[in-house]
């Protein structure tokens, strides 16, 4: 026999309204235990987000009471505009609770389809789509500052351009490769990686350079398949070139093949979730993918969901609906 739960009768005796308050309180307690905070504002304080004027960017302000929603209000010393700690973040006037958003982030980090998010979290498809856009917005330009070093494996992988495949009126071009979107990838032995869209079909030397030049430290060693399109980049950055030969007995070859094959496999499985989505957002998906890979890599140092929360709270971005 199971133990008697002393709260069971009590919980069943509550009205629907009382019960929903109870659930909210329980959620907050769970969040407090897991993340040390119970709201976005508390998270912003915990991670030391600075109150910056959203209008003029000034940091000088004085505290000025509270908003009707109960948020601490700041008044800009320079332009006298009033704002809150979250004015310039994706949480500005957010209606979703911290608890729900943390579940959203958890599911999103496994790249589950939007419909599943709606179903599990009991949110509308508009809300679900809006939060995905907001979260993608915070990784805009995320790869810009990533720089790989040491021994770096570079390669390309290809995806079908669904926008072309879906257009019945446009004749399919001959030679499949022109219809494929090229993604240039690079990964170093510390598992830093980048994935950059580089037009359609097989890339030229210039396209490889444009995609990777800013992401590779001068003087690194580049391991690649020996395609001539890589030479411009290698020369420009004074890198050593090492052409791998398919040799299943060479442990170094196997190690790098495994790294890049894993990455490409992940990438393809990941992108597959977005079939039917606007292909113009592909670079956003790639940025999010690279961001998650980095969180996974450092998971032992930094619990993943908490790290994502910190990132979201500290990123300045005012998401505007573009319809």
Binding site for Zn ion (CB under 5 A): 53, 55-56, 58, 76, 78-79, 81
- φ, ψ of residue 218 to 5 degrees: the values are -55, 145
Q: Which is nearer to Zn ion, 75 or 100 (CB)?
A: 75
Residue 187 makes CB contacts below 8 A (sequence gap 6+) with 148, 152, 153, 193, 259, 260, 263
Q: Which is nearer to Zn ion, 50 or 147 (CB)?
A: 50
Beta carbon of residue 76, minimum distance to Zn ion (angstroms, whole number): 3
CA terminus-to-terminus distance, the chain: 57
Q: Which is nearer to Zn ion, 56 or 120 (CB)?
A: 56
Beta carbon of residue 42, minimum distance to Zn ion (angstroms, whole number): 24
Q: Which is nearer to Zn ion, 54 or 232 (CB)?
A: 54
Helix axes 282-297 and 125-138, enclosed angle (nearest 10): 70
Partners of residue 160 on adjacent β-strands: 180
Q: Work out whether strand 193-200 and strand 221-224 pair parallel, antiparallel, or are unpaired.
A: unpaired
Sheet holding 180-188, edge to edge: 193-200, 180-188, 151-160, 221-224, 240-243
Beta carbon of residue 272, minimum distance to Zn ion (angstroms, whole number): 45
Beta carbon of residue 141, minimum distance to Zn ion (angstroms, whole number): 24
Q: Which is nearer to Zn ion, 81 or 121 (CB)?
A: 81
Structure tokens at 48: 């030391």
Beta carbon of residue 295, minimum distance to Zn ion (angstroms, whole number): 34
């Amino acid at each position: 026999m199971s133990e008697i739960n002393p709260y069971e009768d009590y919980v069943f005796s509550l009205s629907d309204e009382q019960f929903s308050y109870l659930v909210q309180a329980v959620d907050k307690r769970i969040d407090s235990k897991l993340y040390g905070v119970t709201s976005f504002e508390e998270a912003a304080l915990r991670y030391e987000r600075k109150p910056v004027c959203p209008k003029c960017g000034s940091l000088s302000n004085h505290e000025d009471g509270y908003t009707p929603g109960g948020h601490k209000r700041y008044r800009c010393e320079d332009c006298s505009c009033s704002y809150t700690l979250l004015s310039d973040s994706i949480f500005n006037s957010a209606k979703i609770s911290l608890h729900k958003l943390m579940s959203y982030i958890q599911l999103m980090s496994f790249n589950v389809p939007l419909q599943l998010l709606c179903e599990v979290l009991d949110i509308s498809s508009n809300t679900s789509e809006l939060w995905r856009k907001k979260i993608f917005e915070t990784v805009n330009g995320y790869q810009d500052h990533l720089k790989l070093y040491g021994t770096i494996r570079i390669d390309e992988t290809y995806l079908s351009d669904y926008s072309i495949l879906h257009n019945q009126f446009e004749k399919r071009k001959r030679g499949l490769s022109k219809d494929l979107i090229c993604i240039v990838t690079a990964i170093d032995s510390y598992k830093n990686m980048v994935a950059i869209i580089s037009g359609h079909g097989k890339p030229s030397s210039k396209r490889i350079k444009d995609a990777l030049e800013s992401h590779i430290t001068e003087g690194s060693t580049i391991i690649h398949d020996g395609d001539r399109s890589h030479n411009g980049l290698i020369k420009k950055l004074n890198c050593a070139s090492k052409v791998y030969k398919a040799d299943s007995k060479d442990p170094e070859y196997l190690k790098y093949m495994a790294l890049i094959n894993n990455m490409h496999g992940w990438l393809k499985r990941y992108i597959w979730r977005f079939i039917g989505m606007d292909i113009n957002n592909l670079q956003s998906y790639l940025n999010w993918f690279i961001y998650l890979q980095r969180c996974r890599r450092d998971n032992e140092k930094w619990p993943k969901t908490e790290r994502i929360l910190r990132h979201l709270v500290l990123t300045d971005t005012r998401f505007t609906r573009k319809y």
